[in-house]
Chain A
């Protein structure tokens, strides 16, 4: 195997002053976490870049596949190494440039000679490698200023290092560098996308889901678990709080007029979420609401719903079109799961004609006849918590069959 390490260039955090070391540490931990399956990774950090040592091809494959999903990485490059010998270096240069053989590109060779005992000096190395590579690839031409590819050669004391490929990362900031929030995860298309966008800005997530058996099926809960698990691909573990919500929903259906019952339901959900948020020490609540998408997402509805708390409610999708949201969902791989047709807690109690402009005073008035607080306390207390990603060790009951 020619690969020696992967060089990682930091994302936006390169520009941050004081907290930089903290950010780098976060990123390193997130990478370790995301690739826990690979065993202990040797990661070396510098001010502007980070190196992961590569031990075998499997590691390389997994990292190349997984790194583009980790926030806080601007780009990364596989780095190859060979002996400090011109013939070996030329061969390696060819192997690396083979990646680009199908495109018309400009390139240059950039040499750094840290090991000054190496007989040839930088310019000579540059010339030798350049003149060896160039005639072998019809598609390459030399351009010294701003070439498409830079073949970087570094003659260090232990070996010669070489790289050319630059793979884009996910950008954003390392998850966890911007505090923790609670995501309301329904199982639809929007909420996972909202969670993803917040993670991209460095927010660590926990998720909350409202489960109303027997009105909603085990399937819909499984679906939410899958979604929570999908979100962990972006470099952080997620705890999912499943709230037994049947009792509250039944009471709402009995006591509140059907055209505002949906508003009340959302208000109760938010109250529950706020209690859970407080317990877990999160600072904000994240929802997938998009203005005007459904009756509960008009400005009037949002006002009536929001009135139950002062906690910041983050709505990253508020101005997105449905199609834009679907695009992201497809890109991050949650769409297929989201569109599985199971009843979720929002669809089952939906009244035929919910008010699109509910009045806060009226809603409060209708709610005042019942004691929801006791039920809310109970729901919060009886919640079940699942942790994702699921540990691999968990017995795979299908392993023998396959």
Chain B
């Protein structure tokens, strides 16, 4: 892509920060030894790994021994769900999740359903948010796992995870897993609060770190089974030589994301509002899926009777990169499960577009985007 590309698909993935890339290079050059080796070089890279782990633990307000480096959000989600479900069958058999989760959660619970677990899905309203009342009625004594995303990847809805945690812990012994892939670095999320998630998934490449790196973190030590067998790395849970450079890069990206969070959040909110105002100006040609209560960095909307792909291509011609509702499902032709769950008008189901902000987006980008959006809509819909 050319230099002046406006990249607004940061919820699909982000461009790594320069500082993160520099750290990654430096670690690969100087501290490439296996952290499990007993020679001095190994000791050094192990020290570095420990520091990276401690930093992530500090950010999440837990202890270093509860932080596991993984290959990304999908691995974190998969293993959280399989691990917490299969290791707790003595407590019960019931699993709760929502109908708008990421596929890495939905497919995992489907698998568990086939293994005999009793899985129930919470519905969402037109804003994409679950009902705490429904949660209260569905949590049972034998519920062992509740998995809920913090911010929806397709339209930015924020789930009330702290209120949910209270309900879950009051009426069950269930572990509460929160997929924070889209929220970490954008909204406050940690184990700081008295009640909250027991387990959090984070992905490196959504916070200007690298693809292939993620974290699974726990509030406290949990009953768990190893899922990658071998040399016993990562506290025996996930064997395989630990990727120190990835861990360091993720740790740095996480620190920078949290440090700049408030500043960015303000900008994102302002851009989101501006674009929404413009969209509302188009009248009933446009339907906005996101809500002002949702996360500011994601804005989803749909154009009546148009296919998302068409809009994407039209914007792309003008150097603006956006995506259909999610990058994972954008190549499939069927309507996404999230869009289905929101129960929107048939005319708007095919044309969902998601724009998502990141650290590299500038005010000028947004001004340009609004212009381009106007041109494209004019071109595709004629007069509106």
Interfacial residues, chain A to chain B (CB-CB below 8 A)? 102, 217-219, 222, 336, 342, 398, 400-402
Contact: A398 with B47, CB < 8 Å? Answer: yes
Q: Write the nearest CB–CB distance from B170 to chain A, whole angstroms.
A: 12
Q: Please measure, in the bound complex, the distance between the C-alpha atom of A137 and the C-alpha atom of B56, giving whole angstroms.
A: 37
Closest B residue to A342 by beta carbon equals B38
Q: Please measure, in the bound complex, the distance between the C-alpha atom of A400 and the C-alpha atom of B194, giving whole angstroms.
A: 33
Residues of A within 8 A of B48 (CB): 398, 401
The answer to the question of B43 belonging to the interface, with a C-beta cut-off of 8 Å to chain A, is yes
Segment of B248-256, B275-283, B303-311, B362-370 in the binding face? B248-256
Contact: A402 with B26, CB < 8 Å? Answer: no
Interface size on B, residues (CB 8 A): 18
The answer to the question of B373 belonging to the interface, with a C-beta cut-off of 8 Å to chain A, is no
B residues 24-77 near A (Cβ < 8 Å) are 26-27, 38-40, 43, 47-48, 51-52, 55, 65
Interfacial residues, chain B to chain A (CB-CB below 8 A)? 23, 26-27, 38-40, 43, 47-48, 51-52, 55, 65, 194, 248, 251-252, 255
B26, B40, B43, B65: the one within 8 Å of A401 (CB): B26
A102, A217, A400: the one within 8 Å of B38 (CB): A217
Closest A residue to B46 by beta carbon equals A219
Number of A-B residue pairs with CB-CB distance less than 8 Å in the complex they form = 29
Q: Please measure, in the bound complex, the distance between the C-alpha atom of A402 and the C-alpha atom of B55, giving whole angstroms.
A: 8
Q: Please measure, in the bound complex, the distance between the C-alpha atom of A324 and the C-alpha atom of B300, giving whole angstroms.
A: 59
Q: Write the nearest CB–CB distance from B26 to chain A, whole angstroms.
A: 6
Closest B residue to A401 by beta carbon equals B23
Q: Please measure, in the bound complex, the distance between the C-alpha atom of A400 and the C-alpha atom of B29, giving whole angstroms.
A: 14
> Lowest 3 CB-CB distances: which A-B pairs, in order?
A401-B23, A398-B51, A219-B38
Contact: B27 with A401, CB < 8 Å? Answer: yes
Closest A residue to B44 by beta carbon equals A397
Contact: A218 with B52, CB < 8 Å? Answer: no
Q: List 5 A-B contacts (CB under 8 A).
A: A217-B38, A218-B40, A219-B43, A401-B248, A402-B55
Closest A residue to B54 by beta carbon equals A402
Contact: B51 with A402, CB < 8 Å? Answer: yes
Residues of B within 8 A of A398 (CB): 47-48, 51
Contact: A336 with B65, CB < 8 Å? Answer: yes
Contact: A401 with B252, CB < 8 Å? Answer: yes
Closest B residue to A217 by beta carbon equals B38
Q: Write the nearest CB–CB distance from A61 to chain B, whole angstroms.
A: 11
Residues of A within 8 A of B47 (CB): 398
Closest A residue to B251 by beta carbon equals A402
Other contacts beyond A217-B38, A401-B26: 6, CB < 8 A? A218-B40, A342-B38, A400-B23, A401-B27, A402-B52, A402-B255
